[in-house]
Structure 1
Amino acid sequence: MNLRQWAADLRLGAKFAFTGGREGWTRVLLTAVGVGLGVALLLLTTAIPSALNVRHDRGEARSDYTYSQKVKPKADDTLVIADVDTTYGNKDIRGRLVEPEGPRAPIAPGLAKYPTPGDMVVSPALKKLLDSGDGRLLRERLPYRVTGTIAESGLIGSQELAYYAGATGLAPHINGWQTARISEYGTPNPVPAKSDPVLILLVLVVFVVLLMPVAVFITAAVRFGGEQRDRRLAALRLVGSDSRMTRRIAAGEALAGSLLGLVFGTVFFLLGRQLAGSLEVLDVSVFPSYLNPAPALAVLVAVAVPAAAVLVTLLALRGVVIEPLGVVRTARPARRRLWWRLLLPVIGLAMLYPMIGKGRTEGDFNQYLVAGGVIALLVGVTALLPWIVEAVVARLGNGSVSWQLAVRRLQLSSGTAARMVNGIAVAVAGAIALQMLFAGVEGDYTKASRNDVNRAQIEVQLSRGVDADEAVAKFRSVRGVRKVVALAGGNLSDASVKSAGGQNRNSPVTIGDCAALREVAALPSCRDGDAFVVAAADYDTDTPVLAKPGKKLYLDTDQGMDAGREARWTVPQGIRKVAPGTDPSGMEHDGFLLTRGAVPAAAGQPVAQAYVSLDDAVPDVREYVRNAAAAVDPFANVMVWTRNEESKKFASIRTGLLVGATCVLALIGASLLVSQLEQLRERRKLLSALVAFGTRRRTLSLSVLWQTAVPVALGLLLASAVGLTLGTVLLKMTATTVSVDWSSVLTMTGIGAGIVLVVTLLSLPPLLRLMRPEGLRTE
């Protein structure tokens, strides 16, 4: 058969699709909508790497950290910038105080000029929040006048909350980690991150699991309206076409629908791309310009979808005999063979087996084997499900009228029923495996926090020069604050930092009032002016030498950053030894403990941390504390404690999974609804005939529910088995103890069942409209 004949037959099929009357148009539109939804999600997925790269590049372009303790000298091209990030509710806000030191100071991306002191420029999302009623407490924290907005080039997402505020007197606060003097933006000499094989595995499996249901649905969408199409093709046999030509014409119809689906998919993608600019999912937002699919991947989608439509149609028609007088489909079909369906999972396991144990001891994964093995296992779900549905429904027996109607329909078209739930089964199987993998390796990337959240819930790190007593008084006046203690640190040495000689023995110092010192040690009695020494640990050999009464020491409360602030201190007579303890952050304090009255005035204000205990019954109590911290110290770092600390990379992968899963679940719901409506449309004459003969609408509605519930139940059982198997293999690949999180398994299956239930409920109104005697009319 030459290519010219193939092209002519495909073109004839496409013509029939668009000129076949209302039936042809309806089928083409259903196919196009189904394919379009899948194509849109594929395009969005292929655009994700580009979006992540743009977000990363823009974040790097505006980076203002020097990663150096060396302070740059002041010049006409320098800028002093301070990191004053904060949090409002559960939203992080990027804040910067800026003080240009010359006319050639570098301009931050997204700004035309810097705001003057007392003014600020904000991101559009932050401006919207400040103007709303929800931003009342935030306006108290940011007492600046808004004079402009940050352009897109200076933001990593459309919903990012960020601002730049003008300030003066920032230079004395330069400390190398929060406030710095810079002459350009950007990360200097970035060091490439070391790859983690387990995280790479997670990313690979996430992408495969998210894309597989989309591919399954696209292959199902091109077969919409198959029964009516085959009956139309019988007429072609009557006028002289042979069976091969008829199949090629049918492939042409599917090709037409898929090409129109590409157009629909492009439109859906552009609409979704525009909508993405106004959405934020799990604290992740993008600008529409970020979502640009890689050209090679977009071309691959454009070629693969029509090719898959033709191939699937030709394969589907191999089991259908189209004769001039009808279609031999309603006869009892040959039983499906099981052996080749079992080959796919076996091949998948064989591809994954060499990777077992490669996730530890600097191992690595062959990405092609991993992706291929996961794909083979998940495709095995789509191959096994039709056989299982056919085998089970063939043995279903008596029941109510609605049950018998549903069972008979399933026995006649078990393949169609299985195709409807293939996507949900693949999604659930992949989700169960991923949940097992995440739960198994979570302990490597999540650890229990040392912070004692029973003693305090917020830690406030104050900057140099801030009076700790004033800060404590301010925090204690906040509604909902139960208790506040402040602890400062320093160092005692027998030699000055300015001197070159001396033994230079050192011992840490903790400074606070009596209530604060009781948080870190067991004090027998205490009054202002007292000093204590902690019983020395085995590794602390300097403190016993320095703690001799009458010994002259140097007290440095700036940790050596300003040698001029050193003060002489004499160890008092009768200094008492106390047992060591830990502060609310879990840190053990050794060395010396000094009340504020024991600190020489020449030492200045030491850098302190305030630990705040809250009454969670008071609404917005954390926001009140943050506002109080900003009032006493604009450079204060407020940290809300949690019981667990999680790796940022691990958390970002989990966030990506949740965002992608949300999109895939939405697609699955939409695809199931389209499939259900297509099935009802094909059976409208049968439904109308049953109603005309007196069948109750309630009985028919229940039969439709049973027709969906039985394949879904079988699909979820198969998905659970495959998901548990794949999850076990993935855990063995990461050398992690195999355990099953049954709550996650039940949650995933419950979500799958819930989607089907919602789709069934949404399909009831069209079903009731179809169950009318008028549906028997024909042209």
Structure 2
Amino acid sequence: MNARQWGADLAMGVRFAFGGGREGWVRAVLTAVGVGLGVALLLLTTALPNALANRDDRGSARQDFTYTGKLLPKADDTLIVADRDTTFHNKDVRGRLLQPEGSKAPLPPGIGGFPATGEMVVSPALDKLLRSDSGKLLRERLPYRVTGTIAQTGLIGPAELAYYAGGTGLEQHFSGGTVERINYFGPSPNTQPDKLDPVLLLLIVMVFVVLLLPVAVFIAAAVRFGGERRDRRLAALRLVGADGRMARRIAGGEALAGALLGLVFGTGFFLVGRQLATLVDVRDISVFSSDLNPSPALALLVAVAVPAAAVLVTLFALRGVVIEPLGVVRKAKPPRRRLWWRLLMPLIGLAMLYPMTGKGNTNGNFNQWLVIGGTVLLLVGVTALLPWVVEAVVVRLDSGSVSWQLAVRRLQLSSGSAARMVNGIAVAVAGAIALQMLFAGVQGDYTKETANDLTRAQMEASVAGTTSLAEVGRRLTDTKGVREAWAISTTSVGNRAQNPDDELEATVGSCAELREVARLTSCRDGDVFRIAGGEYDDQTRRVAKTGNTVYLNPTYAASPTTPTAWKVPAGVKSAAHRKDPTGYARDGLLFTSGALPAQAAKGLTQKAYITLDPAVPDATEYVRNTVARMDPLSDVFSLAGSEQSRQLRSIRTGLFIGAACVLMLIGASLLVSQLEQLRERKKLLSSLVAFGTRRRTLSLSVLWQTAIPVALGLVLATAVGLTLGAVLLKMSAAKIRIDWSSVLAMSGIGAGVVLVVTLLSLPPLLRMMRPDGLRTE
């Protein structure tokens, strides 16, 4: 058979699809919608790497802290930048104060000029928030007048909350660590790119496989819409002289027509979704529509692979069908499906994954091709096993209500169609269960318990020494939502006034406040204490030796300050270690307020610890506003009991976004598939109603026809998902642990999607039961 004959037969199938009247067009459009939804998601997937790369490039281009440890000299091309990041309702707000020192000072990307003192330029999302009622508390924290907006080149995403404000007097705060003098915007020469360890790379590979495989399954199912009516047309072709092979190629051409139209629909769906992408904000991740540009090579691969797959799937589906001039042998009882070859795929998949068991993070990277191949074979094994399972179960079902018998008889005659509709759900659920097991198994390695004592404080704030210690405590205590607040002052003590070799920490406060950070036997104002003997302390006794002259607030090259000389008196008392609410046990010197030299008060930083009232919803926002009024350059932290790796959180966020898209695809594709099956049975449903069958009975039968294969598919998916999850945990050298709540949640979500689709298909079902459905031409 030459290529010309193949081309001619495929072209004839395309003409039948588009020129075969209303039936041909409806089938082609339904196929195109199903394929188009999958193509749109594939195009989105190919565009995501480019979108994330553009986000990273814009974030890198606006970096403004070089962390070199050296203070640049003032020049005509320097700019002082102060970090004013904050948090509002668990959303990060990026803030910078800018103070240009010359006409050539570098301008941040995205703004046309420096804002004046008391003014700011904001991102569109922040501007919208500040104008809304929900942004009232944040407006109190940002006492600047909005004079412009930041362009896309200065933002990582459309939903980012960011601003640049004009600053003054920032040169007085170089010692704080959040103020720096720069002469360019861009990545620091000391910045090292984050490297993913083997287990995190395994997670990323698994996320892509698990999210994309259901898409491929749905595309394969979509090109087989209308199979029964197509077979009757093929029988007619045999009657006018076409042989069996030619008929199959013509069927492939019809599938090719639907796939090509699906590419057009998919491109349209993608372009619509691309424009709507700016409205989506998932866990603080958003992208500009202009960033969602698919890779040309990957887009071309989709454009070629989808039509080719449509033809191949159709030819494969017809391999066991005998098309005769007077009918299709599929009408007879189908032969029993064989099990042995269906088990080969998952077994081969397990064999490909087995050599990597126990590899973990210590034996190099996993072989990505073996991971992808093994996972795909194991999950595709679900699609091969499910038709056999459905057939084996429904053949044993018999007695029951009328609706049950109608559903079971239909499933016995066409169990393959029912299994195809559920295949995508089963693959998605199996993959999701495996991923949840892998996340649950390894997240302990990327989550560490903090030393924070949340019973003593839930927030920590650092305030400059321009506000007295007593004032800091009083104002925080008077803040709405605060149950208790106390503060201490901190500075450093060196053995020299400039660039000391040995340095200690000095803590200042009242006796009550010092007792929160040390164990004191007796205390009165004017006392000085020494804490020594910590795990890493080898200099307190040497530097703070009686009679030595030390320097409070010594000067460094990057932080010019005013040192204060102080001679260690003979009456220094000893104190024992006690951890503060953050779990830090300090060494060094403790000063009661009356013992600190007056000149040293200017170099102090106040550290406040706050206990919140959980009954006040916005207590954290009130605290942040109070601290910002005392010190615009303050740092405020919410204390947490544990911290999780940023990389793991990013991967989980990507999984969440992808899973949401796949679920939408699953629902839409299932609805299209359900409508196509109902359309094919329109005359049968109308006939049953005409003979007196109740509509309620038929509606229940449709529900049973969906529920039985779905239940079987979820059971099979759970078994395969648990198996794959256990293998992945073994590969990661993690303990096998089944999170049954996640397993039930994944199965419940899959069943919920099917239930929603079934309910949405009921109105069309009721319309198809009308007697006029018996009309024919």
Q: Report the AA paired with residue 666 of structure 1.
A: M
Q: How does 1:522-533 map to 2 (within 5 A)?
A: 522-533=519-530
- The residue aligned with 2:80 is 80
C-alpha distance 366-464 of structure 1, shift in aligned 2 (>3 A): farther
- Partners of 1:145 and 1:564 in 2: CA distance: 32
Counting aligned pairs with the same residue, the percent is 66
- The residue aligned with 1:634 is 632
- The residue aligned with 1:569 is 566
Residue 259 of structure 1: SS of its match in structure 2? helix
Deviation of 1:310 after TM superposition, in Å, equals 0.3
Q: How does 1:257-272 map to 2 (within 5 A)?
A: 257-272=258-273
Deviation of 1:360 after TM superposition, in Å, equals 2.2
Show CA shifts across 1:251-300 (max 9, x none): 11110000000000000000000000121112110000110111110000
Does the 8 Å contact 2:555/2:562 carry over to 1? no
1:95 maps onto 2:91 in alignment: no
- The residue aligned with 1:174 is 174
Q: Report the AA paired with residue 21 of structure 2.
A: G
Deviation of 1:525 after TM superposition, in Å, equals 4.2
Q: Report the AA paired with residue 402 of structure 1.
A: S
- The residue aligned with 1:104 is 104
- Partners of 1:637 and 1:558 in 2: CA distance: 22
1:374 maps onto 2:408 in alignment: no
- The residue aligned with 2:412 is 411
- The residue aligned with 1:743 is 741
C-alpha distance 509-23 of structure 1, shift in aligned 2 (>3 A): same
Deviation of 1:638 after TM superposition, in Å, equals 1.1
Q: Report the AA paired with residue 656 of structure 1.
A: G
Deviation of 1:628 after TM superposition, in Å, equals 0.9
Bigger CA drift: 694-703 or 516-525? 516-525
Q: Report the AA paired with residue 661 of structure 2.
A: C
- The residue aligned with 1:600 is 597
- Partners of 1:464 and 1:337 in 2: CA distance: 80
Bigger CA drift: 361-370 or 645-654? 361-370
- The residue aligned with 2:719 is 721
Residue 306 of structure 2: SS of its match in structure 1? helix
1:764 maps onto 2:730 in alignment: no
C-alpha distance 24-588 of structure 1, shift in aligned 2 (>3 A): same
Say which of 639, 657, 660 aligns to 1:659: 657
Q: Report the AA paired with residue 675 of structure 1.
A: S
Query: What are structure 2's unaligned runs of at least 5 residues?
Result: none
C-alpha distance 776-431 of structure 1, shift in aligned 2 (>3 A): same
- The residue aligned with 1:387 is 388
Q: Report the AA paired with residue 360 of structure 1.
A: N
- The residue aligned with 1:584 is 581
- The residue aligned with 1:712 is 710
- The residue aligned with 2:446 is 445
Does the 8 Å contact 2:498/2:555 carry over to 1? no
- Partners of 2:509 and 2:447 in 1: CA distance: 33
Q: Report the AA paired with residue 220 of structure 1.
A: A
- The residue aligned with 2:126 is 126
- Partners of 1:508 and 1:704 in 2: CA distance: 75
C-alpha distance 460-112 of structure 1, shift in aligned 2 (>3 A): same
- The residue aligned with 2:187 is 187
- The residue aligned with 2:163 is 163
Q: How does 1:468-547 map to 2 (within 5 A)?
A: 468-493=469-494, 495-498=495-498, 507-534=504-531, 536-537=533-534, 540-544=537-541
Q: Report the AA paired with residue 15 of structure 1.
A: R
C-alpha distance 62-646 of structure 1, shift in aligned 2 (>3 A): same
Does the 8 Å contact 1:173/1:464 carry over to 2? no
Q: Report the AA paired with residue 595 of structure 2.
A: A
- The residue aligned with 1:287 is 288
Deviation of 1:629 after TM superposition, in Å, equals 1.2
Show CA shifts across 1:184-237 (max 9, x none): 111133433333111110100000000000000000000011111111221111
- Partners of 1:535 and 1:104 in 2: CA distance: 50
Show CA shifts across 1:609-664 (max 9, x none): 21111101113111111111111111111111222101111100010001100110
Does the 8 Å contact 1:458/1:639 carry over to 2? yes
Q: Report the AA paired with residue 649 of structure 1.
A: Q
Q: Report the AA paired with residue 642 of structure 1.
A: A
Residue 626 of structure 2: SS of its match in structure 1? helix
- The residue aligned with 1:50 is 50
- Partners of 1:422 and 1:65 in 2: CA distance: 51
C-alpha distance 563-232 of structure 1, shift in aligned 2 (>3 A): closer
- Partners of 1:562 and 1:418 in 2: CA distance: 70
- Partners of 1:547 and 1:110 in 2: CA distance: 51
Does the 8 Å contact 2:497/2:555 carry over to 1? no
Does the 8 Å contact 2:555/2:563 carry over to 1? no
1:682 maps onto 2:680 in alignment: yes
C-alpha distance 540-72 of structure 1, shift in aligned 2 (>3 A): closer
Bigger CA drift: 323-332 or 663-672? 323-332
C-alpha distance 409-356 of structure 1, shift in aligned 2 (>3 A): same
Q: Report the AA paired with residue 173 of structure 2.
A: H
Q: Report the AA paired with residue 579 of structure 1.
A: A
Bigger CA drift: 391-400 or 463-472? 463-472
Q: Report the AA paired with residue 219 of structure 1.
A: A
Q: Report the AA paired with residue 565 of structure 2.
A: R
Show CA shifts across 1:3-51 (max 9, x none): 1111111111111111212111111110000000000000000111111
Task: Count residues in correspondence.
Answer: 774
Deviation of 1:569 after TM superposition, in Å, equals 3.0
- Partners of 2:534 and 2:16 in 1: CA distance: 89
- The residue aligned with 1:199 is 200
Residue 714 of structure 2: SS of its match in structure 1? helix
Q: Report the AA paired with residue 596 of structure 1.
A: S
- The residue aligned with 1:246 is 247
Bigger CA drift: 176-185 or 112-121? 176-185
- The residue aligned with 1:348 is 349
- The residue aligned with 1:611 is 609
Deviation of 1:564 after TM superposition, in Å, equals 5.4
- The residue aligned with 1:24 is 24
Bigger CA drift: 259-268 or 732-741? 732-741
Does the 8 Å contact 2:553/2:561 carry over to 1? no
- Partners of 1:136 and 1:158 in 2: CA distance: 21
C-alpha distance 409-515 of structure 1, shift in aligned 2 (>3 A): same
- The residue aligned with 1:363 is 364
C-alpha distance 136-558 of structure 1, shift in aligned 2 (>3 A): farther
Say which of 772, 775, 778 aligns to 2:773: 775
- The residue aligned with 1:694 is 692
- The residue aligned with 1:3 is 3
Show CA shifts across 1:82-118 (max 9, x none): 1101111021111010011111111111111111111
Residue 692 of structure 2: SS of its match in structure 1? coil
Deviation of 1:546 after TM superposition, in Å, equals 5.6
Residue 351 of structure 2: SS of its match in structure 1? helix
- The residue aligned with 1:305 is 306
Deviation of 1:462 after TM superposition, in Å, equals 2.3
- Partners of 1:164 and 1:505 in 2: CA distance: 38
C-alpha distance 454-272 of structure 1, shift in aligned 2 (>3 A): same
Superposition TM-score, scaled by structure 2 size: 0.97
Does the 8 Å contact 1:536/1:591 carry over to 2? no
Show CA shifts across 1:677-732 (max 9, x none): 11111111111111111111111111111111111111111111111111111111
- Partners of 2:389 and 2:148 in 1: CA distance: 63
Q: Report the AA paired with residue 166 of structure 1.
A: G
Q: Report the AA paired with residue 157 of structure 1.
A: G
Q: Report the AA paired with residue 381 of structure 2.
A: G
- The residue aligned with 2:236 is 235
C-alpha distance 656-513 of structure 1, shift in aligned 2 (>3 A): same
Does the 8 Å contact 2:235/2:324 carry over to 1? yes
Does the 8 Å contact 2:554/2:561 carry over to 1? no
C-alpha distance 461-176 of structure 1, shift in aligned 2 (>3 A): closer
Q: Report the AA paired with residue 511 of structure 2.
A: C
* Aligned CA-pair RMSD: 1.8
Superposition TM-score, scaled by structure 1 size: 0.97
- The residue aligned with 2:550 is 554
Does the 8 Å contact 1:345/1:376 carry over to 2? yes
Does the 8 Å contact 1:584/1:611 carry over to 2? yes
C-alpha distance 539-351 of structure 1, shift in aligned 2 (>3 A): closer
